[in-house]
Amino acid sequence: MIPGEFTYHRPSSVAEAVAILVSHGDEARPLSGGHSLIPMMKLRMAAPEHLVDLAGIADLKGISESGDNIVIGAMTTQNELINSALLTEKLPIIRETSLLIADPQIRYVGTLGGNVANGDPGNDMPALMQCLNASYVLAGPDGEREVAAREFYEAAYFTALAPEELLTAVKIPVPPAGHGFAYEKLKRKVGDYATAAAAVVLTMNGSSVDFCSIALTNVSDTPLYAGDASAILTGSTLDSDTIKRAVAAAEAITDPASDARGPAEYRTKMAGIMLQRALTRAAERANR
Amino acid sequence: MNDMTPTREQREAALEGMGCKRKRVEDVRFTQGKGQYVDDLKLPGMVFGDFVRSPYAHAKVTKIDATEALKIPGVIAVLTAEDLKGVNLAWMPTLAGDVQMVLADGKVLYQNQEVAFVVAEDRYIADDAIQLVEVEYEELPVLVDPFQSMAPDAPVLRPDLEGKTEGAHGPRKHHNHIFNWGVGDKDETAKAFSEADVTIKELISYHRTHPSPLETCQCVASMDKVKGELTVYGTFQAPHVIRTVASLLSTIPEHKIHVIAPDIGGGFGNKVGAYPGYICAIVASIVTGIPVKWVEDRMENLSTTSFARDYHMTTEIAAKNDGTVTGLKVHVLADHGGFDACADPSKWPAGFFNIVTGSYDFPTAHLEVDGVYTNKAPGGVAYRCSFRVTEAAYCIERAMDILAQKLDMDPADLRLKNFVKPEQFPYQSALGWEYDSGDYHTAMHKAMDTIGYRELRAEQKAKQEAFKRGETREIMGIGVSFFTEIVGAGPSKNCDILGVAMFDSAEIRVHPTGSVISRMGTKSQGQGHETTWAQIIATEIGIPAADIMVEEGNTDTAPYGLGTYGSRSTPVAGAAIALAARKIRNKAQMIAAHMLEVSEYDLEWDIDGFQVKGNPQARKSMKEIAWAAYHAPPPNMEPGLEAVSYYDPPNMTYPFGAYFCVMDIDVDTGVAKTRRFYALDDCGTRINPMIIEGQVHGGLTEAFAIAMGQEITYDEMGNVMGASFMDFFIPTAVETPHWETDHTVTPSPHHPIGAKGVGESPNVGGVPAFSNAVNDAFQFMGSTHIQMPHDAWRIWQAAKDLGAHG
């Protein structure tokens, strides 16, 4: 449980960090909260020769509103997400989800950028970002580009992020005021990854659903945006038959691993149950 | 008497003796981070050892090449079995009469087995070097399922035992068979079954888990080549036994070996045995003459040093229609892994599993245990229980519920009907034990009344009806558990470790000013001995507990004892302490008589001194007597005031308790929520009620973990799964239920202060309470037995198999 040797870098700007990544290519890894990378290094499953600590880059911090978007710096910690008045008002599902990540000690250090960039299907934020249709700002040697969260994830730990690129911010379109939301997570204990989890954001017009977006955590090797399920529910009155069809559509796109959290069949079914419960809660919270 | 003279109550309170909720004195340093643990030790020139481990569960080791590793600056040595053969230590004896490889000798038998020992200047270099030791393996067929161990074509795991038809505990009937142990009357039991109105039969499995103390196993070995003396600091629950074993193995005379167990961060049975890490560190220090530290990491701890349980118990009960039990038959298949390294008293290959008749008056019973080898880590330690007593309690408590279901009787009523009655004590059990004392009916009635048992049953019935009507997806279970433990190993007539009788000891020395140093053969790992031992002495000799220092763990200063495990400290060492204290009091009485110029027979003991009968003004306090013992002892009496006692208990003690668990289960997710957990314990005389409560809380939390998900599993390739805290379930404060504790007091008749053990009762009684609650919840759907552990997916699976998901 001791990592191999590495050189530690602590750049103070994004440009400096990118330059280090460019000069070392595959041998370098950016370090944000470190909760995934450091254990992997201790197990020697990851052995980067250069560790680029992003903690000294002030530009990667902070939460702000910019037009119709909320922009969150990659190094913003989960604890900062929880305590942001702006997020609590405009995007309360981020606070709800953050509170279900690990435990307070980890949330003081763990960051949004690290959580979404690492490509670990167990992380909660990637599915939430897909649900919210967020996009990621990636800075590389040739400048910045944006990639939608729904396009970012390729396989477990494989993403659209190039080795010389840095994820610097997350841009989230603000959902309409009065939207309903819920993140339902089944886990074995505090600190565990989800057995299955579902994120739901919806708006109601009277008794029918105006808009609905659903994504699932840890039931495939990537987070899953459940587009079909979302479409089935849009325009419905959330009657039990429609919910049943939507749940079936969501379950159909899952492909979980069998592990100590349970066999694949269980985890698929739990994704369905979490979705049902998230829908119920989201609908209760939505203005009509 | 003036107003300043303390009252008798004040004098008594000042002692903080037995029965006092005295705060734990050791916590002053623990809560400030000032404990001194093995890994805090830094000796001059100390180096570090770490293991190259096998990635395979079963393989031949064809080549070990350390050339590249040795090139790293700071790497001192890489030891292999070949090197250990030079000092005759490639293999070591186990406590169970088997032998175990210290380092892989030609093959490996489980994943993560120790293959080579790298010694380097620091831990970082050692870990780098491990990556560079090249080991060539030739994979062999893997045996994971103990039910396949004795198949005719099962792979041979132990070629070293080839041709050995006789093991340490009798004949071996297969190359993977370790022992067969039988007890009880087979014919009488068969007769009881043939005449029974009702019988039940169920395979009840208790899965493999691990004690997982906060601090892992570790040691520092330091050989002084000039003096020829070896000092070993280690996480040892039984330091004296470790010294004796070290002397026998190393041939260093026992007086030249100093074993020191400093503060220990939890043991739970994990730190009783001897592990390859200790042997390798000792050998490395003997060879190099420099101190060598070895510290396990968490994954090494969970995957190599001592699993617990893995008992598969086919259980049958014979009964009359009215519920009276008439016979018990149990066959156990015991998975011991690659070596039989069970930490039981030497004559007991299945520990005290023959306590399996539990709290019930079985007229006859028969038990057989077969131990087998598999490609899993060795161990079989008593994880917070007396030897195999948790397995036995789970077996009988689950089986009684199954019988109640078959008879359509309430499980609490079935237990009340069959309890050993108060007038039957001392009670001879059908499997050979003599229960010392008990009042099971009183305890059970108190528990049922407190928890409102009948009302809970009515509520459960209503919820079941609501579930059937489709109004709820939640069901309710009520777990009943009434356990009898057997602790305090043990009487020399039936308990020894490698030939050393399992007595224990205490030495008490009163200083001239009336303060005390006392030393015991036990070793606290968190039990609070520094607090409670002083309380016993305080009550016995009338010196305040605050003036009594308790020391354990240094074999140079402490009297020989067998250590702390199996809830034996209070039953054995606790008795030695009381008896040593009484020797001091007897001498004090003679000194007081001399001081008061009366006959010692004219004196009576009163809280903290002796007074003349009928004239309480004429008294001498223990402090005054202590001064006199050194200043002016009576003529012809040796000066000084100290005593030693070695105590060989006449019998074990038999704590018992009634536990109830009320659980609500979400049928759709399998998530179980414990609504209430009530634990009534009877451990005889209570030395420190606050420490007892703390012990019960800790043991119940472990029981909760074990029953609801904590396990060590292997895949079909023998890969150990979940050997980290990601998957190995250690509950946090969030998951842990609220505990309600209660007690009755039935003193042990043979123990000097009437005390029994308690630290392990909650683990023993807790597991069946949780498992019975889960099982009870599903009974109305027709389920008879759902195997542990009851994590959410398995509960969901059970619900699905019963058709509860529609």
B151 Cβ neighbours under 8 A, 6+ residues apart: none
CA distance B130 to chain A (A): 11
For range A124-128, the mean pLDDT: 98
Is the distance from CB of B202 to CB of B785 less than 8 angstroms?
yes
Closest residue in chain A to residue B296, using alpha carbons only: A1
- Closest chain B residue to A263, measured at CA: B793
* Predicted pLDDT at B399: 98
| Minimum-distance CB partner of B128 among A4, A188, A195 | A4
For residue range B691-709, list pLDDT tens digits in order.
999 999 999 999 999 999 9
**Type and span of the H or E element at A276:** helix A264-285
Which pLDDT score is estimated for A288?
Answer: 85
User: What pLDDT, in 10s, does the model give residues B439-450?
Assistant: 999 999 999 999
Contacts of B731 in chain A (CB under 8 A): 189
Q: Nearest Cα to B346, choosing from B206, B181, B198?
A: B181
Distance from CA of B211 to the nearest CA of A (A): 19
d(CA B524, CA B545): 17
Separation of alpha carbons B95 and B97, rounded Å = 6
Give dist(CA B579, CA B508) in Å, integer. 10
DSSP state of B64: E
Distance CA B747, CA B778 (A): 38
**Distance from the A200 Cα atom to the nearest Cα atom in chain B, whole angstroms:** 19
| Nearest residue of chain A to residue B799 (CA atoms) | A266
B496-497/A208-217 β-pairing:
unpaired
The answer to whether the Cβ–Cβ distance between B669 and A270 falls below 8 Å is: yes
pLDDT at A40 over 60: yes
Q: Flag whether pLDDT at B424 surpasses 60.
A: yes
For residue B800, what are the CA distances in angstroms to A268, B402, B669?
A: 14, 21, 10
pLDDT in tens, B584-616: 999 999 999 999 999 999 999 999 999 999 999
First and final C-alpha spacing in chain B = 82
Q: Which of B124, B131, B731 sits opposite A189 (nearest CB)?
A: B731
3-class state of residue A92 by DSSP: helix
| Measured torsion, CA atoms of residues A45, A49, A50, A55, in degrees rounded to the nearest 10 | 30
- List, in order of start, the domains of chain B with CATH numbers: 8-35+504-647 (3.30.365.10), 38-140+216-264+271-303 (3.90.1170.50), 386-487+653-801 (3.30.365.10)
3 state DSSP class of A252:
helix
Closest CB from B131, B721, B732 relative to A260: B721
pLDDT of residue A184: 98
SS (H, E, C) B654-701: CCEEEEEEEEEEECCCCCEEEEEEEEEEECECCCCHHHHHHHHHHHHH
- Chain-chain contact of A262 with B796 (C-beta, under 8 angstroms): yes
Judge whether residue B477 has pLDDT over 70.
Answer: yes
Average pLDDT, stretch B744-751?
A: 98
Question: Which chain A residue lies closest to B299 (C-alpha atoms)?
Answer: A1
Give the ipTM.
0.96
Residue A113: which H helix or E strand, with range?
A: helix A112-117
What per-residue confidence (pLDDT) applies to B343?
87
Give B481's pLDDT tier (boundaries 50, 70, 90): very high
> Is pLDDT of B498 > 90?
no
Q: How confident is the model at residue B2 (pLDDT cuts 50, 70, 90)?
A: low
Kindly state whether A189 is in contact with chain B, defined as any CB-CB distance less than 8 angstroms.
yes
Residue B280 known to be catalytic = no
Residue whose C-alpha is closest to residue A46's, from A66, A62, A30: A30
Proportion of chain B above pLDDT 90, given as a percent: 96
In chain A, where do the E strands start and end?
Answer: 7-9, 28-31, 50-53, 63-66, 69-73, 135-140, 143-148, 153-155, 158-159, 166-173, 180-186, 196-205, 208-217, 224-225
What's the pLDDT band for B494 if we cut at 50, 70, 90? confident
User: pLDDT tens digit string along B145-186?
Assistant: 999 999 999 999 999 999 999 999 999 999 999 999 999 999
Domains of chain A: 7-56 (3.30.43.10), 58-173 (3.30.465.10), 180-285 (3.30.390.50)
Instruction: Report yes or no: B563 and B240 within 8 Å, Cβ to Cβ.
Output: yes
d(CA B651, CA B658): 23
| Residue numbers in B near A5 (CB within 8 A) | 128
Which tens digit of pLDDT belongs to each residue from B12-22?
A: 999 999 999 99
Amino acid at the residue B34: K
For residues B146-184, one letter each, b for 16 or more C-beta atoms within 10 angstroms of the residue's C-beta and e for the rest, the string is: beebbeeebbebbeebeeeeebbbeebeebbbbbbbebb
Q: Indicate yes or no: CB of A195 within 8 angstroms of CB of B793.
A: yes
Whether B423 is catalytic is: no
End-to-end CA distance of chain A: 54
CB pairs under 8 A between A and B: 51
- Nearest residue to B518 (alpha-carbon basis) of B586, B580, B609: B580
Please state, in angstroms and rounded to a whole number, the distance separating the CA atoms of residues B223 and B496: 29
Model confidence at B1: pLDDT above 80 = no
Do the Cβ atoms of A192 and B726 come within 8 Å? yes
Burial of B803 (0-12, 13-18, 19+ CB in 10 A): exposed
Q: How confident is the prediction for chain B on average, in pLDDT?
A: 96
Q: Tell me whether the omega of the peptide bond preceding residue B789 falls within 30 degrees of 0, making it cis.
A: yes
pLDDT at B251: 87
What proportion of chain B, given as a percentage, has pLDDT over 70? 100
B131 and A261: CB-CB below 8 Å? no
Phi, psi of B284 (to 5 degrees): -60, -35
Residues of B with CB under 8 A from a CB of A: 123-124, 127-128, 131, 297-299, 668-671, 709, 713, 721-722, 726-727, 729, 731-732, 734-735, 791-793, 796-797
pLDDT of res. B803:
96
pLDDT in tens, B522-561: 999 999 999 999 999 999 999 999 999 999 999 999 999 9
Please pick, among B384, B388, B519, B686, the residue that the annotation labels catalytic.
Answer: B384
Instruction: Give chain B positions within 8 Å (CB) of A4.
Output: 128, 131
Optimal mutation site among B669, B715, B721, interface A, most CBs of chain A within 10 A: B669
Taking only the tens place, the pLDDT of each residue in A204-224 is 999 999 999 999 999 999 999
Query: If you average pLDDT over residues B23-50, what whole number do you get?
Result: 97
* Closest residue in A to B711 (Cα–Cα): A260
pLDDT confidence bin for B3, thresholds 50/70/90: low
Q: Which residues contact B560 (CB under 8 A, 6 or more apart)?
A: B240, B505, B521, B646
